[in-house]
Amino acid sequence: MTIPTATSESIPVRSALGQHSLYDFHGCPAEALRATERLRAAMLEAVRSAGGTIVNDTFHTFSPHGVSGVIVIAESHVTLHTWPEFGYAAVDVFSCGVTLRHEIIRDHLARILESKRVEQRAFPRGAVER
């Protein structure tokens, strides 16, 4: 996996390899959360806009309702799971390096999902010496 770094250091430092963002979209219309193909297109576009390099993707429509989608990117992954019955979608964005703009994915999906309230949490991962 390629790990672009913001700065080059000659002295090994403990720094996080990746950043993991959890986004929770509340108050979304049920129809926006059921539209598998539209959601897939939106996720792919969001990842490209954010600077991600798409490797593969898989999307599934569940019975009676709900969509799960995963995009594997060179930088790690972006996932989406929807619960139309609760007007809720869970998204996570995990990337190594500094190239992927998580907030662009968040904002693009908030628009597509017509979310009334977005919660976000972010966690550094993989503190290693390098």
Q: Spell out the residues 6+ positions from residue 121 whose beta carbon is closer than 8 angstroms to its own.
A: 21, 22
Q: Spell out the residues 6+ positions from residue 47 whose beta carbon is closer than 8 angstroms to its own.
A: 54, 71, 73, 78, 105
21, 95, 96, 108: the active-site residue: 96
* Nearest residue (CB) to a second copy, 15 versus 45: 15
20, 21, 76, 77: the active-site residue: 76
Q: What angle do CA 33, 38, 41 make, to 5 degrees?
A: 125
Sole window of 4-12, 36-44, 78-86, 103-111 interacting with a second copy (rule: CB under 8 A): 78-86
Q: Spell out the residues 6+ positions from residue 25 whose beta carbon is closer than 8 angstroms to its own.
A: 88, 89, 90, 91, 109, 110, 113, 115, 117, 118
- Encoded one letter per residue, x for contact with a second copy by CB under 8 A and - for no contact, window 16-35 reads -xx-x-x-x-x---------
Give the residue numbers marked as catalytic.
Answer: 76, 81, 96
Chain residues that interact with a second copy, rule: CB under 8 A: 1-3, 17-18, 20, 22, 24, 26, 55-56, 58, 60, 62, 65-66, 68, 70, 72, 74, 76-77, 79, 81-83, 86-88, 90, 92, 94, 96, 121, 123, 125-126, 128, 130
